[in-house]
Amino acid sequence: MPARRPARCARPRDSVRRELFNPPRDIPGLAPGFLRPPGGQGQQQSPNQTERTSEQSAEISGNVLLTARPNLQPEWRVLAEADGTVRVEVTALPARYGCLPSPLKGCRARVRRGRQTVAGRSGEFMAGIEIREYCGDFEDLVELARRVWIPQYAGRMWFSLPDAPTLRCWAKGGGCLAAYDGSKIVGSIFSIPYTLRVRSSVLKTGLITGFTVDPSHRRIALPLVERIRKLHEEQGIAFGIGGFASDQTSPSYRFWTRYARAFPQKYHFLFRTGHWFKILAPGALSRAGITAWERLASGTLGHLLRLTPHASDPHVRQCCAGDLEQCSKMLDKASADLDWATVWSAKQLANELDDPASETLVFEQEGSVRGVVRYRRVVTYGRAAICAAAIDLWADDGLTGPQRVRLLSHVCNHLRERDVHVLLALRCAMMPASTFAANLFLPPMAQLHVAALLTRPEFAPAPPKTYSLVLS
């Protein structure tokens, strides 16, 4: 007969149960009431609450791990080890804890309060995963994004993948963190610093982008987010801003909505927006369109929607270094009455000129710059890859309506000549709606959720009514 294993906890099980009368609500790192009963024990369970999995995990904080395993024996146990590790095992979680994030619903949950994360000179180690500041040629990050995004999202929603030069510009002056499993890169996240005027206050903020996690290492998503919050705290950044698509079946939507539900003091939804879009190459869009409406509109009306009211305008030229001071003043003046607006200095605009994927055009009249438009070229995926461009800056100093229409017509024709298939523009107060409508831009179809990742929970900015932001 095999020898009996020594008990890990010398205390009687009954005393353990009395001590842990409500352990899910006392898990460190979770929001108060996160596991609250949704409506009493008599409430009918949803299909998701009866899921069963062989073994699935979700990282809740730096020290808490919930592991789900099928088991039908209701029981609470505390396992205390000599090295200070304490494990709390919960078997057959009661149905009243229906708010536990899927895939943990209806399964055995083991909550492990382990030793503190080991921090070393090279970064942080969590369950064999090392998170550290990225240092490389960015080609491996491009490969990671393609490996993750194309299989998960292609044909289901529109998304863009930046190239290595763009990633290099994002990391310049900002932060790029990467997660490694041995020598293999399995996750990344960027924070691009911007100065943001929030009503009467001027704050340091960060644009959170390039957030990618290998599906086989999804538990590192939360540590990556926590590390970028820590980086913001070290750099004095008030909060980070990011956007994600409204497709409720996408992993990104599920992650951020669950994160907001678990940590409401850290993550606030601000508003929803979308992109104007202009068809420049109907054939390419009809092949890549996701919905039947997109393919039908491109095939039947594309030859009309590709047209512009005007051809190229001789007043429009490429921006040079000598124009940046005027452009900065023009941007400040145009955004003075907005609730939120990105503050652009001449130095920051000069840094943007180094990005090979972006280009800035100016409207010059009588030797003075009267308008500025900047766009960024990206590879965008639907059912197939297309070449797209996104306008992220627009400002003018007293241009008339017809002059604005001619400026945008020039941008459209300029990009069509360079084999761009679709032109996008964020729908916000800085983008003149009548100008885009006159150039046959279509209104937004898919919505984008914009949210703030708070560095200090006590500082939660009120959502703006009017804004000018850079989200790509």
* Same domain as 296, residue 168: no
For residue 193, tell me if it sits in a domain: yes
For residue 472, tell me if it sits in a domain: no
The rounded mean pLDDT for the chain is: 78
How many other C-beta atoms are found inside a 10 Å radius of the C-beta of residue 97? 20
* Same domain as 347, residue 291: yes
Q: What is the pTM of this model?
A: 0.73
* Same domain as 436, residue 287: yes
* Same domain as 343, residue 327: yes
- Residue 210: CATH number of its domain: 3.40.630.30
For residue 378, tell me if it sits in a domain: yes
* Same domain as 201, residue 214: yes
* Same domain as 302, residue 373: yes
Instruction: List, for residues 238-297, the tens digit of each pLDDT value.
Output: 999 999 988 888 899 999 999 999 999 999 999 999 999 999 999 999 999 998 888 888
Tens place of pLDDT per residue across the chain (472 aa): 555 555 444 444 443 333 333 333 333 433 443 333 333 333 333 333 333 333 333 333 333 333 333 433 334 344 444 444 444 444 443 333 333 333 333 333 333 333 333 333 334 445 578 999 999 999 999 999 999 999 999 999 999 999 999 999 888 877 899 999 998 999 999 999 999 999 999 999 999 999 999 999 999 999 999 999 999 999 999 999 999 988 888 899 999 999 999 999 999 999 999 999 999 999 999 999 998 888 888 889 999 999 999 999 999 999 999 999 999 999 999 999 999 999 999 988 888 777 888 999 999 999 999 999 999 999 999 999 999 999 999 999 999 999 999 999 999 999 999 999 999 999 999 999 999 999 999 988 778 999 999 998 888 889 999 999 988 7
Residue 9, both tokens: 């906890």
* Same domain as 279, residue 194: no
C-alpha dist (Å) from residue 1 to 4, 8: 9, 21
* Same domain as 152, residue 33: no
Instruction: List, for residues 158-179, the tens digit of each pLDDT value.
Output: 999 999 999 998 888 778 999 9
For residue 305, tell me if it sits in a domain: yes
End position of a domain, from candidates 65, 98, 116: 116
For residue 265, tell me if it sits in a domain: no
End position of a domain, from candidates 189, 223, 256: 256
For residue 460, tell me if it sits in a domain: no
In whole angstroms, give the CA distance from residue 131 to residue 219.
Answer: 13
In whole angstroms, give the CA distance from residue 419 to residue 414.
Answer: 9
Amino acid (1-letter code) at residue 404: R
* Same domain as 126, residue 110: no
For residue 207, tell me if it sits in a domain: yes
For residue 385, tell me if it sits in a domain: yes
Residue 394's domain spans which residues? 275-445
* Same domain as 241, residue 145: yes
* Same domain as 146, residue 88: no
In whole angstroms, give the CA distance from residue 451 to residue 454.
Answer: 9
Which residue in 390, 380, 462, 387 sits closest to 431, CA to CA?
A: 390
What total of structural domains would you count in the chain?
3
Quick check: 343 and 199 in contact, CB under 8 A?
Answer: no
* Same domain as 285, residue 224: no
Instruction: List, for residues 348-384, the tens digit of each pLDDT value.
Output: 888 877 788 899 999 999 999 999 999 999 999 999 9
